[in-house]
Amino acid sequence: MEDICVRWITKNLNQVITKCSDCIEPKYVWRFPYPDCRIVARPAEKILLKLCKRQILRDDYLSLFSVKYVDLVSPVLRDVSVSPSTLRVLRDFKLYNLTATSLKQTSLNSLISCLSEASAESLVSLNVTNTAIEENKLPVIISLGRLKNLQALNVSRTKFTTECLQNAVKLLPRLRYLNISRTNINNISALLDLRDTLTGLIMHRLNLDSRQVLERVLSTVLELKELRVLDVSSASDRDKPRLPAVDRLCAPGALPHLTHFDICGNQFSLKLSDVRNFIANHPNLEFLGLAAWPSRQNHELEGIYQLSLKYPNITMLGDRGEKPLLNTLTRNKDRRIYLQNAFHNIFEETISREWLNPDLLAAVLRVMRLHMNKQDMILAGTAVVYNLTRGEQSAYLPLELLNRAVSITLMSIEHHQGQVQLLKNCFLTLCSDNVLHRAQFSCKRCCELVFRSLIKFNDIHMKRMGVAIISILAA
């Protein structure tokens, strides 16, 4: 019920707010049914997040989230353009968690300056992914230094440097979880000061090009004995020489508490035998990321798949097999390099045989919807959708899932009118009696999109499929 109310409020915002007539400065206020009414923290935070997702939150709406009208404990601001002056509305709250990602007008320093002293003392978690950091790093360090009780810090996709990390470690002695993915950091030796407290370290796609840098990073990681979560995933651009310290990583007693290990991309160059030893010597392991393996050798890919069957209690990501590929799609929503790789692998595995797997198709469609503006993703995705719905498979898919497949296919045509191969993939999916007769969709919309594509491109194969689609719809 709460979520239904939140959705209604955000869709009909103008009906539940009004401009204050007797305020010193004109501002928006809620149309509450009675005086002293207020919105408690959880629904207030949901409304705030929903406004961000709908891309309608702006400076003058932030007055709706003043302490006079709402409670806030763990607000989330994501991908919006709001100024630091209006973010000062946060100053009246005592916050425990704050997520402020991809803010277009606000830097890390100005964000922290908007917090009250009570929030600075109580804040446990701070996520500032893709938030600007000024070239002069000193204010950032001073600002972070206010957050003495901070335990979780996410500075991924920022200009956080090795120097910033060194200072942050000194100023934040209670830090237990750190995400420095896609930053400018290439030396994590400073984390040795947190060896007794750090339990989570995420380092996705750090720029660790040289062998010396990789060895130093791995040596440091091996000293962080309290780690439960470790992510050293990378791009799978090439095979690198195996590091000697891999023997220590896979040996008994190394990182004894580890439950989550993501080494997608395999930048430490583990061999299949290393992976086997690692699993055997880490009995607490619950998650293991082994996707985007640079070595495309068949015995290694098959070996990883066999390991996923041998250890069903461990969630494994991989490049072969339905379950590892499904896990790769569901656990990497914002990591396109692995999603693209998974699409490629699914396509290869289904090109010569049918795979009736509704969960896999649902995951593919979910990824496509999230990345609809990325043409390379949708090109690969439409090819996979065809393979997963062709022939008799479509007759056995749940109707709701088939409806989604057709909807995403039509959406792909709408968004990518200039890509011939992508359109052909979509036409292949639609050119099916089972699909078009079973699925529920707008025939008019489908015909318009097909005709638009046929008019734009003089391709004989598209014309044949287009005529067939129209014929099926007209029958």
Read off the pLDDT of residues 264-300 as tens digits, 9 standing for 90 and up: 999 999 999 999 999 999 999 999 999 998 866 778 8
Q: What pLDDT, in 10s, does the model give residues 232-244?
A: 999 876 667 888 9
Q: What tokens does 107 get?
A: 């830097």
Q: Is 276 exposed, middle or buried (0-12, 13-18, 19+ CB in 10 A)?
A: middle
Binned at pLDDT 50, 70 and 90, residue 474 comes out as confident
pLDDT tier at 136, thresholds 50, 70, 90: low
Q: Are 192 and 217 in contact (CB under 8 A)?
A: no
Amino acid at 115: L
Classify each residue of 312-327 as buried b or exposed e, where b means 16 or more C-beta atoms within 10 Å of its C-beta: eebbbbbbbbbbbbbb
| Cα(133)–Cα(152) distance, integer angstroms | 18
Evaluate if residue 471 carries a pLDDT over 70: yes
The pLDDT, as a whole number, for residue 441 is 92
Every domain of the chain and the residues it spans: 1-69, 350-474
DSSP conformational letter for 92: G
pLDDT digits (tens, 9 = 90+) for 382-430: 999 999 998 888 888 999 999 999 999 999 999 998 899 999 999 999 9
For residues 29 and 46, which has the higher predicted lDDT (pLDDT)?
Answer: 46
> What is the C-alpha to C-alpha distance for residues 311 and 17, in angstroms, rounded to an integer?
54
Give phi and psi for 239, each to the nearest 5: -80, 135
Mean pLDDT, range 98-102, rounded to an integer: 96
pLDDT of 380? 96
- How many angstroms separate the CA atoms of 417 and 136, rounded? 45
Higher per-residue confidence, 387 vs 21:
387
CB 160 within 8 A of CB 180: yes
- pTM exceeds 0.85: yes
Buried-state track 253-272, b at ≥16 Cβ within 10 A, e below 16: ebbeebbbbbbbbbbbbbeb
Quote the percentage of the chain above a pLDDT of 90: 75
- Please give the pLDDT value at position 135: 61
Q: How far is it, in rounded angstroms, from Cα 148 to Cα 454?
A: 63
- What pLDDT is attached to residue 245? 94
318-328 residue pLDDT tens = 999 999 999 99
For 329-383, write each residue's pLDDT tens digit.
999 988 999 999 999 999 998 887 777 789 999 999 999 999 999 999 999 999 9
CB proximity list for 53: less than 8 A, separation 6 or greater = 78
